[in-house]
Amino acid sequence: MRAALLKSLQLLQEAIKRDEHFLSAYCYAARANDLLYFFDLDPTPDRVRLAETAIKTALRLRPDSAEAHFAKGDFLFRCHRDYNGALAELALARPGLPNSTPFFILDGYINRRRNNWPQAERDFSTAVALDPRNPNAYNLLADTYNLQRKHLLAAQVYESVLAAGERTPIVFFRRNSALFNGTGNSTALREVLAKNPEMDVGGGQTPVRIFLALIDRNFAEAQRVLTASPRSDFQDIDYSFYYPKAWFEALIARDKGDSAGTVAAFRSARAILAERLAVKPEHARTIAVLAQVDAGLGQKELALQEGQHAIDLMPISTDIYDGALVLEGLGQVYTWTGEQDRAIEVLQKLVSIPSYINYARLKFHPLWKPLHSDPQFERMLASLAPK
């Protein structure tokens, strides 16, 4: 993704050199820089500055441009997390973009983070209706259902995509993942992974293969999968954060009881996260994962401080999507530092709101294994079980 965005920027700059009044080129350049910053592919202040400069130029060229106001909304959302400002820009853009799939995707994305789930569902549904083969549209709609633990509806989104003729393996994978999340039955998920051993979109399938191997207590297979990947980081849980390879090395070592291997891997992961924070300080999600790493290293007080700091930076009241992920990180810190009652309290909160906590994840993932003997945990798990 990073290489593609940088290549796009190069081509856009060439277009601007040929025509300094090419409004669309400035708008697309701003959005490419937004994405590089937002997804931590190049989270430097220069990306924010370049995006802002492009938007200012576009609005100077045409102050009433719907495309330019849309680009500014995208910039405010991705680079400044100014959700109200972004929605205000989208309101200005909407009359000129009545049937724009990207418009409804961005509107839904922002509404979801502002805890307006019905509107987010409508936005993503509209985007899918306008462009049924748009992966961004149907993935976000399905993801919104998954976050609300409407896993059958998420699977139905992918069934519709398959019925429309899309046969790429990732669609089968995501449908089967939704079913696994809700039922705990991994048969179909394992089948699609076995049929497509090279599939690893954004590094998103490697963690699932590792997860399934750990369910089987097949540590050799988990390590083989991780070692075989040429990637240095992987998507897990959501699509906007990349965990370093050392994180998964630590999870495998910890689950098989290799204390020395666990410490070594967590130390490597910690160094990588510290480097990220040097570039993008006060990034709540990174700090939340750093807290989990420090909990894994036995640094209880430091981990608790970092976990709470991440919550302070990204409370649910500000952004329920990232806020829930950060809160899950604190729950993991509590789990790994012997604070079981506090961990259960966090999980109960997460179960009461849209989050990535689901039946299969709680039942099988080694992250939560220390809680399995707790009666409160068992009751919560039973409440999520398929009826």
Domains for the chain: give ranges and CATH numbers: 1-98 (1.25.40.10)
| Cβ 184 vs Cβ 363: under 8 Å | yes
CA distance 311 to 329: 9
CA distance 92 to 162: 36
Q: Give the pLDDT score at 387.
A: 84
DSSP strand pairing (233-235 vs 242-244) = antiparallel
Q: Give the pLDDT score at 288.
A: 98
Contacts of 359 (CB under 8 A, 6+ apart): 181, 182, 183, 184, 381, 384, 385, 386
CA distance 288 to 303: 9
SS3 content of the chain, % helix, strand, coil (to 5): 75, 0, 25
Question: Which of 135, 157, 137 has its CA nearest to residue 146?
Answer: 157
Question: Which of 301, 99, 332 has its CA nearest to residue 236?
Answer: 332
Q: Give the pLDDT score at 236.
A: 84
| Cβ 274 vs Cβ 306: under 8 Å | no
CA distance 380 to 138: 30
Query: What is residue 68's three-state secondary structure?
Result: helix
- The total of other beta-carbon atoms located within 10 Å of residue 283's CB is 20
Task: List the Cα angle 185/190/191 in 5-degree steps.
Answer: 110
| Cβ 306 vs Cβ 330: under 8 Å | no
Residue 163 phi/psi, 5-degree rounding, is -65, -30
The DSSP 8-state label assigned to residue 201 in this structure reads G
Length of the chain: 387
Please write the tens of the pLDDT for every residue from 41-90.
898 999 999 999 999 999 999 999 999 999 999 999 999 999 999 999 99
Low-confidence residues of the chain, pLDDT below 50?
none
| Cβ 141 vs Cβ 127: under 8 Å | yes
CA distance 77 to 264: 37
Q: Give per-residue burial for 59-90: e unless 16+ CB within 10 Å, then b.
A: beeeeebbbbbbbbbbbbbbbebbbeebbebb
Residue 16 phi/psi, 5-degree rounding, is -65, -35
- The total of other beta-carbon atoms located within 10 Å of residue 253's CB is 22
Q: Give the pLDDT score at 291.
A: 98
The DSSP 8-state label assigned to residue 233 in this structure reads E
Q: What is the gyration radius of the CA atoms in the chain, in angstroms?
A: 21
